[in-house]
Amino acid sequence: MQNRGRGRMMSQRTFSKPKNRKYVLVRLAKYVVKFKWWFLIALALTVGSNLFALIGPYLSGEALTLVDEGVGKIDLTRIYEIAGMMMLFYLLSSVFSYILSIIMMKTSKKIIQSLRQDVFDKLCQLPVSFFDKTPTGDIISRMSYDIDTINTSLSHDIIQIATSAITIIGSLVMMIIISPLLVLVFVVTIPISLLFTRFMLRRTHALFKRRSQSLGELNGYVEEMISGEKTIKAYGNETKVLRDFDEINNDATLASYKAEYYGSITGPGVNFVNNLSLSLICLFGSLLYLFNPNFKLGKISSFVLYSRKFSGPINEIANIFTDIQSSLAAAERVFNLLDEPNELEDKIDAAILNDALGQFDFENVSFGYLESKIILENLNLHIKPGQMVAIVGPTGAGKTTIVNLLMRFYDCNSGDILIDNESIYNITRQSLRKNYAMVLQDTWLFEGTVYDNIAYGANNPTKEDVINAAKLARIHSFIERLPNGYDTVLSDDGINISKGQKQLLTIARVMLTDAKVLILDEATSNVDTQTEKRIQEAMNKLMENKTSFVIAHRLSTIENADVILVVNNGKIVEKGTHFELLNQKGFYYELYISQYQ
């Protein structure tokens, strides 16, 4: 038979291999290009703001040169003009900077919105296996913390680097005009700054990457513990949980400390070299002033101011690179998620399944979540339309796995599954799944009204349809007692109602669908015995003329099944009706007796 899905199972992984910095920058640039015109406007404002700011030191030197003429020779009118021009240019520079910050904040928000949308779209395209392997908290960390970290760089760091670059170039040009000889000081100090910064960047990149990973692990653990808080308290495991959290928290704190510590060394180191440059400039500038009559005091003043403007941005860039390292590590995690393989696309000529009859055939189906550990092996099975098929067996026997294969949440390693004599692999996933309705042991409700939760998945149901479904599920009277009836808003995952009530709501949801195949995985596990009997009566009516797969541990709920499949160690060890299996006195008989002893 065909080896469907085997290659895919081998290729799936939790996250893609690490990307280099160049790759990450190219990916980020693609998002920036979408808003290139706004960035061009921002660049123009940056150039204007910095050019106006760069005129200030030159005018300051002109004023100081006039003062150097001596008492009685100072042209106060010219000094007032220079002071007025300096105020005007600095004011224009500030206005441009303000407009620039507004543009960059709005543009970065749009970019991040686009990136976050892409991440969420990607999550909707990923196979179920990805979510089985990946902690929810880690995924949330990538969508929140990591993307927010990228946003910080886009809104502040990029424009700061552009500003610093323009300031450095402009200051260097002005210093060369004032005194090419003094500029030679930077021939020694700048290479030292560059080499030191490069060394620190290489050292800190891995540290910031580890910080992002450890925060993701911390979020994953916290999410898991919060969702299981009642169980933790019930078993008195608070001490162990706190101890484990302390360990994970210490790892995250240590990773953050190392990244911040080594990242913080860069700024002071570069600042020391810059201050060394200033000291040398003051020394050699004084000598030029003393021995060169054409070298005025104003030139020294302007050169010192430009040297500060020249070296200051170098120090700022060194500090910014620490944030950029963190952003690149965060971006790498986000792009790793975006590069995860999607759920396999449907075949080009895949058919659309409408109104399935509900006949199923398993032909030599073998499957394992891990290639080395096969759960189902050479499974053969024929199910007639309209049959109620119960699947029983011990935990880990492969009951839910059969459902996962039917839904194509996973593809079998080998063999084939047919629905109405057509391979499910020749049918589009969407149309295949639309023919199923599921009630799972783990209920899922979203924050919204009771009405919205019941109507979810149905095709424009009326209020009457929803009420009838609720009545069939024996939940209508409870809903009527809620403060706002069907308009009552359920809080986070329905925590303001009991588990049994949540289960009844999901059952009512299924009763609204017109699916031809029902899948019930421990659907009544969270309700009491009396309610279970009433629901069973309603579900028996619901299952009329529909093929139903019922996974159950309480064997009393599946006594009327047309066929019971007893699964053990990935194989169907027994098959028949309830009474046939009891008469065989085999594995099913032992299961049944054990529940009543």
pLDDT tens for each residue of 210-230: 777 787 778 777 777 776 776
For the stretch 105-108, contacts whose Cβ atoms lie closer than 8 Å and that sit 24 or more positions apart, written own/partner, are 105/155, 106/38, 107/35, 107/38, 107/39, 107/42, 107/154, 107/155, 108/151, 108/154, 108/155
Quick one: average pLDDT of 137-141? 81
Beta strands, E only, 187-330: none
Is residue 28 pLDDT above 70, yes or no?
Answer: yes
What pTM was computed for the model?
0.67
Is residue 596 pLDDT above 70, yes or no?
Answer: no
Q: Are 112 and 152 in contact (CB under 8 A)?
A: no
Q: For 149-173, how does the pLDDT look when each residue is reduced to its tens digit (9 = 90+)?
A: 888 777 777 777 777 778 778 878 8
Quick one: average pLDDT of 115-123? 89
- pLDDT band at 14, cuts 50/70/90? very low
Is residue 16 pLDDT above 70, yes or no?
Answer: no
Is residue 464 pLDDT above 80, yes or no?
Answer: yes
**What pLDDT sits at residue 153?**
77
**What pLDDT sits at residue 417?**
92
The sign of the dihedral angle between the CA atoms of 182, 90, 55, 74 is negative
Average pLDDT of the residues of the chain: 78
Residue of 479 and 220 predicted with greater confidence: 479
44 CB-near residues (< 8 Å, 6+ apart): none
The percentage of the chain sitting over the pLDDT mark of 90, rounded to a whole number, equals 2
* Cα→Cα distances 223→134, 216, 359, Å: 12, 11, 41
**What pLDDT sits at residue 416?**
92
Which SS3 state, helix, strand or coil, does residue 348 take? coil
**What pLDDT sits at residue 423?**
92
Out of 87-91, 284-288, 514-518, 558-562, least confident range: 284-288
Q: For 322-332, how does the pLDDT look when each residue is reduced to its tens digit (9 = 90+)?
A: 677 778 888 88
What would be the CATH architecture of the domain defined by 445-514?
3-Layer(aba) Sandwich (3.40)
**What pLDDT sits at residue 2?**
43
Is residue 320 pLDDT above 70, yes or no?
Answer: yes
**What pLDDT sits at residue 7?**
34
| Gyration radius of the chain's alpha carbons | 35
Rank 16-20, 189-193, 198-202, 372-376 by mean pLDDT and report only the highest.
372-376
- pLDDT band at 4, cuts 50/70/90? very low
Q: Which helix (H) or strand (E) holds 441?
A: none
Q: For 416-447, how does the pLDDT look when each residue is reduced to its tens digit (9 = 90+)?
A: 999 999 999 999 988 888 888 888 777 778 77
**What pLDDT sits at residue 418?**
92
- For the chain, the domains span 17-338, 445-514
Number of H helices, E strands in the chain: 22, 12
- Please identify, in words, the CATH class of the domain defined by 17-338: mainly alpha
Nearest alpha-carbon partner for 39 in 113, 104, 106, 109: 104
Query: Tokens 């996933």 identify what position?
Result: 429
